Structure formats: C-alpha cells, structure tokens
A and B are shown apart, each in its own frame.
Chain A
Amino acid sequence: MDTMRDRFIATTTRLLDDDPRLALLLAEISKDGFQQALLRHPERVINVGIREQLLIGAGGGMALTGMRPIMHTFASFLVERPFEQVKLDFGHQGVHGILVSAGGSYDWPASGFTHMSPGDVALMDTLDGWTVHVPGHPDEAEALLREAAAGDGSVYLRLSVHANSSPQPIGGGGFTPLREGSRGVVVAVGPMLDHTLAATEGLDVTVLYATTVRPFDGEGLRRAVAGARPDVVLVEPYLAGTSTAVANDALAEVPHRVLGLGIGRRELRRYGSVEEHLAGQGLDPASLRARIAAFLS
C-alpha cells in the first residue's frame, strides 16, 4: 500500500495540472517526489529552501493575490515552528490555504522527538475557522485533499504512515457510526480505527469513526449518546485530550463523562517502531481495551 504522503504527492501533481488557482509551496521536504510538478509548473510549485517561516508567509502572500496555496512539510515544521505565521499570515489577514503535514506523532520513531508533533492539532485548536482532517487511509487522504483543493476555506490535513487496513467512505465531515452498542460511545480518529475496533471487539459499545475533527461533529456525538450510556471515549493519534473540550461542549446539555486517550505529554525518549510507540503510549489493542473497559465498567 502506498502511504498517505505518496498519495498526496501523486494527487497534488495531478491537481496542479488541472487547477491554475492551486500553488504548492515546499521547504525541501518531499521535493524529490514533486520533481515532475516542479518542472511542469515552475511558477506555481515553489521550493523556498529550509525556511519554514517563509513557507507559511509566502503562502499567505500568494493567497492575498487570489491563489490557493498548499503548504507542505513535516508537522513539527509546518505547524509548531512557524505557528505565528499560521495565525497571522492566514487568519489575521483573512485569507485561506491548505496545510498538509507528514510525520504526525510517531511516524519516524528512530529519529526521536524532533520529528514528532503530537501537539499540532491542539495548537491549531487555538485558531478560528480551520478545518482539521485526520485521514486513516491513503484513499481517505486523497478524497479529503481533493475536497480541500476544490474549496475555499482554511484546511489542515494531517498525514501519517500509520494507517488502517481498509478505507472508510468520507461522509461530508460527520462521524461515521461503525458499530452500535449501549454501554458507551467510542470515537476513533483516523489511523486509530483498526486498533480501536480490535480493542472494542465484543464490547457493547457504539464506535464512531472520525476523519474530520474540526469542526467537531457534535450533532453526531449527541445522536450516538442518545442511544447509549453518555460515557464517551476519544481515541486520538495526537495529544491525549485534544478533543475533550469540544466533546464536553457538544454534550453540555447532557450529564456525561469523557475519557481522552492519545499521546502523552511526557517524552518517551525511545526510538524503535510505530507499533512500539503505540504500545508505549497505551494505544495498542490490549492496552486500549483495558482502559476503555475500565472506564465503561
């Protein structure tokens, strides 16, 4: 299976051919994959070098002239390093663009914490009006990218090598119910779906699948909670508790409990593999099952 990043490169290369409004900005990362696009559209495919503040600022400038910029690098360098540029050069200017990250929270564990960005979605949450997509499969990533490219809003598309074995249909931003049960509601975000399904096998719970986490499908969560005990578990591939506040807001009128599972703030200071990191964070199926069952018991 190709990775979401492979699919992003192939899809964006085609989209650039078809849509003269689109521009792609790179800061060295992924430039080899985009060689063809760089040659075909030298005016719209821009590599600014290892300059992440300029990556975002120049994207904002292109947006000011009416272009639709796609900015891409690893999440640490796309969201965290130039965060004030994201805040001011898009939000404050009142212009829009598409941020596409790679790397996520544990994509490249052998490189250590410098290339992990578990806080990116929480950081984006401090800004107004950004749609945040967390696909769980390359097919989903492609569908969400195409939707973002054709739209006009500000979009953060978070790609990861961690993926589910099969894609789910992308359903207009709402959470997709995959199982129904009565003892609680488990929301699995993007690549956490396979492990969450395995962890909840045989449990009497509703499982919702989310690829779009902002805006948060509060209506979908309320619907699910209406048919089950209002105990909600969020399983997210980034900082634990990132969506706890929005889930609480969605359930403000309903007595409820929320457990946020995800990546801990404490650095593991371990290298190794993605699977080892998921286990180290308590996000492997056995750990998830124990934590979910304990919460819902």
Chain B
Amino acid sequence: MTNTTYAQDDIRRLHRLMALMTGDEKHSPAATSTLDALWVLYDRVLRVSPATARDPGRDRFLLSKGHGPMAYYAVLAEKGFVEEEALSGFGGYDSPLGHHPDRTLVPGVEIGSGSLGHGLPLAVGSVLGLRAQGLTEPRVWVLIGDAELDEGSNHEALAYAGPAGLEQLHTLVIDNSSASYGWPGGIASRFSAAGWSAETVDGRDHQALYAAYTAPHPGRPRAVVARVEPKS
C-alpha cells in the first residue's frame, strides 16, 4: 500500500461527506468505486478551482458515469465547489444535487450526465473546441465505467480520438468488472489498438493513479484504467 496516512485522512473526510447523502443506496457501490481515482485527480492533477470554474483555460472534468455521483459531490464539496450543507438535500426537489448531476445546477460540473455513453463524445468535442480556439493547454478528463464502455457512442469517440491525435483528451475508466460480457484482452488494449496511450493501475493506489495520470503521452490521447474491487 503506497497510500500515505495523509491520503487516508482525505478519504475518511470524503466518506464523512458521502454519508451526508442518502437516498441513492442502489448506486452506492458505484459511488465508492470512483472515490480514490476522483480524489487524486481533483487534489493533485486537475487545474481547476471554484475561482476558475468558468475560466476558458481551466482543465475540464466530465463525469460521464453519472449514476452514483456521491463520491463526485463529496470531492466537489471538499474542494469548495459545493456547500457541505447542500449534501444532505441530495436528490430532493430543492436540491441542486441529483442522483445524476446537472451542469446547469452545480458550479464546476461540466456536463449533465446519467444516460451512459455521452461523456466521451462530449469530451472529444471539448478538446476540438478548445483546440480551435488556440487553447492547447487545458486538459480534458472524462470518467467512464467499464460497463459504460459497452455503449457504441463511446467506441465512436474512442476510434476517432486516437487517429485524430487528441493529446489533450484523457479517459479514466473505472473498472469494477461490471460489464456483463467483460473485456477479453483487457480494456486498455481497446484504447491501445485505437492509437491511445493506455495504462491499467490499481484504482485504490493513489501513487499509482497519480503516476498514470501524469505520464507523458505526446501526440496521443491517454486512457487510465483504474481497477477496483469487482462490482464495487
């Protein structure tokens, strides 16, 4: 285990925040599967804060796997995008925090999601839009699940982004072995075959996640497959 005590404290704080949200127990395994990967991304990699949430030069994070967003909201609360008090209203009529996020209701949320297979195409377009405006610094991250990779729209985006050389694009695949037919040969091989830089890591190992997130990948998009406990 390469996680530091400090990181464990972070995760404990996030669990406390997640515990404030109730009412979507159906999706809570899906929520914890993303927790470590999201935290390392927001804490150490993404160049975005509440102050720069509308800055054209910010990094973008697109939560495509919109179900089970408790870890996401907890991270957003910890980073100051969302008021901690809002968490207890999770899923309520007056709450901005739904069981699937809505970008028009929460600052810092880049896309509304829930329907699977929309985030990666939107991320591709975000990179194209940034590039067309000369913004080659901001990086675009999108989080999908291994079962979400079943969606054909993701394969359209995956197959285009590699040959198009979208270096600013990063896909984080949370692999909790939830796809019914699995991915023979491994998920990373699908990305590699399409010309991406791809790596599989332990999705609970903060140091491994950080190293995979920050590895150079000149001229190619990057996929990081974070493996966590099956069906977690």
Contacts and interface: CB of A to CB of B under 8 A. Distances in A.
Answer yes or no: are A and B bound together in one complex: yes
Interface of A: 20, 23, 43-44, 46, 48-49, 51, 53-54, 56-67, 69, 84-85, 88-89, 92-94
Given A64-B110, A85-B118, A58 B153 contact: no
B201 interface: no
A64 B121 contact: no
Contacts of B184: none
B5 interface: no
Contacts of B83: none
18 contacts: A23-B128, A23-B129, A46-B128, A53-B121, A53-B152, A53-B153, A57-B122, A57-B124, A58-B128, A58-B157, A59-B125, A61-B122, A61-B126, A65-B126, A65-B130, A67-B132, A88-B112, A94-B103
Contacts of B131: 43
B115 interface: yes
A88 to B, nearest CB: 6
B121 A61 contact: yes
A61 B124 contact: yes
Interface in B118-159: 118, 120-133, 135, 152-153, 156-157, 159
| Of A20, A49, A65, A88, most B-chain CB atoms within 10 Å | A65
A162 B111 CA distance: 39
B121 A66 contact: no
Given A64-B111, A84-B115, A93-B103, A58 B121 contact: yes
Interface string B157-170: 10110000000000
Interface residues of B, number: 31
Nearest to B111: A93
Contacts of B126: 61-62, 64-65
Contacts of B104: 93-94
B156 A54 contact: yes
Contacts of B159: 49, 51
B125 A53 contact: no
A125 B41 CA distance: 40
Nearest to A45: B132
A65 B115 contact: no
B92 interface: no
Contacts of A84: 115
B133 A65 contact: yes
A74 to B, nearest CB: 17
A94 B110 CA distance: 11
A29 to B, nearest CB: 15
Contacts of B118: 57, 85, 88-89
6 closest A-B pairs by CB: A61-B125, A57-B121, A65-B129, A58-B125, A62-B129, A51-B156
Nearest to A46: B128
B56 interface: yes
Contacts of A92: 102, 112
A66 B115 contact: no
Contacts of B153: 53-54, 57, 85
Contact of B125 (A49, A57, A94): A57
Contacts of B115: 84, 88
B103 A62 contact: no
A66 B152 contact: no
Contact of B56 (A65, A85, A89, A94): A65
B156 A66 contact: no
B59 to A, nearest CB: 12
Interface string B7-41: 00000000000000000000000000000000000
